[in-house]
Each structure stands twice: as structure tokens, then as C-alpha cells.
Amino acid sequence: MSGMEKRSDTGDVTRFSGSATNEQVVEALRTQYEATNLAKWTLGQIVALARRRGISWAEIGEALGGITKQAAQRKYAPVIAAERETEERKVADLLRLSEDHAEILRSWESPTA
């Protein structure tokens, strides 16, 4: 894993679990859950940036641990599409466009998918 170690041992968790209160364990769960969600969101943003820069799905898949381009596309294309729709709605609202005009704006989508 270029530059990062895989953690295969649970030594830190085992040492922690012996002295932690239930409240500390629950707080650790909550903190890890939030960190995981932030990491997933950040990863999606970086994948979207890679696509905007023209990086292929195959290269993205390789960077994501060697998954196939199809798997990368299945996982992240919906995230990118939802982000694009949100941005288009913001622009339409800002410009006070009607739904018909907003649809025209959406039809100008670049064919980079």
C-alpha cells in the first residue's frame, strides 16, 4: 500500500478495551463512525475531482486498491451525478430559472462520463 501500512493486529484496541469504560467505548464508536463517514465523503470528492480532470475510471480503480473500472464507476458515478444535480439546482435557483430553463441547462452536460 504505497506509503501506508496495513493494520492487521488489534493490539491497540485490545489494550484500550481492558481499561475503557462503556461510555468511552461508545464515544470511540461514535468518533470512528464520524471519521469513517468523513473519509468516505472526502474520497468521493477526490474521485469527482479526478473525473473532472479527465482521469480514467481504470486509473481511478487502480488507485482505489486495484478494483475494476466498472466497480469504480458503479460506486462513484451516482455520487458524481448527485453532486452535479445539486450544483445545477443551486445555479438555477441563483439565476431564478424556471424548471424548463433548468432542464435546458442540464442538457448542456459535457459528455465526459
Is the per-residue pLDDT at 8 higher than 70?
no
Q: How far apart are CA 59 and CA 57, in angstroms?
A: 5
Q: How far apart are CA 66 and CA 19, in angstroms?
A: 39
Q: How far apart are CA 39 and CA 31, in angstroms?
A: 12
Q: Which grid coordinates are listed for 34?
A: 464520524
pTM: 0.63
- Three-class DSSP category at 4: coil
8 Å CB contact between 75 and 65? no
What are 14-66's pLDDT values in tens digits?
667 778 899 999 999 999 999 999 999 999 999 999 998 999 999 999 999 99
